[in-house]
């Protein structure tokens, strides 16, 4: 029984690896073709930029003096270990495992950035006028593919929990 459970974890780890590879590939392109602060307008609401984030989401603790690099790296490594263990234990739960795999791929992508560069490379810049009251110039904080994976995973975790609670009623 344990053998089949372990074998079924591989598709989820494969999904995490795919997210990681896409994230790393796009960051290599940005680092290779853009200097810090460069921007290319793609549409009226989307730019490709090069931003360095030494903090966490929304640049939380970005100016904390450097200790946050290792703090967020340690959290990312601990999360990756815990998520891998959870995937092995729950690989038959499709939505839950999909969510964990998305988060795992994103977390590892951002950990690699922190270890290699000391910051996370962000490059997706969406901006809308209605966001002006919340963000400078209506620009949502820049992000990357790893962040997309983490966000999709978080949404799917919430959805999985809602569905689980409804099913138990």
**Which residues are annotated as catalytic?**
122, 147
Rounded CA separation 89/94 (Å): 12
Diameter over CA atoms, the chain: 56
Tokens of 18: 């795919």
Phi/psi region, residue 61 (left: phi>0; alpha: psi -120 to 50; beta: rest), is left
Q: Are 18 and 152 in contact (CB under 8 A)?
A: no
Radius of gyration of the CA atoms of the chain, in A: 18
Q: Find the DSSP H helices in 57-122.
A: 67-90, 94-117
**Alpha-carbon dihedral 67, 71, 73, 79, rounded to 10 degrees:** -170
How many CB atoms are closer than 10 A to CB 130? 7
């Amino acid at each position: 029984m344990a053998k089949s459970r372990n074998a079924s974890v591989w598709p989820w780890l494969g999904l995490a690896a795919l997210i990681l590879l896409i994230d790393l590939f796009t960051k290599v392109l940005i680092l290779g073709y853009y200097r810090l602060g460069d921007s290319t307008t793609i549409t009226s609401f989307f730019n490709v930029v090069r931003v360095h984030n030494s903090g966490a989401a929304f640049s939380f603790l970005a100016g904390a003096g450097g200790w946050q690099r290792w703090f967020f790296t340690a959290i990312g490594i601990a999360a990756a270990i815990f998520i891998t263990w959870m995937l092995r234990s729950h690989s038959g739960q499709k939505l839950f495992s999909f969510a964990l795999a998305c988060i795992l791929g994103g977390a590892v992508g951002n950990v690699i950035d922190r270890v290699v560069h000391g910051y996370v490379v962000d490059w997706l810049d969406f901006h809308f006028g209605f966001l002006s009251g919340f963000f400078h110039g209506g620009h949502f904080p820049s992000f990357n593919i790893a962040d997309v994976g983490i966000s999709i995973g978080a949404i799917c975790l919430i959805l999985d929990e809602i569905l689980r609670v409804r099913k138990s009623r």
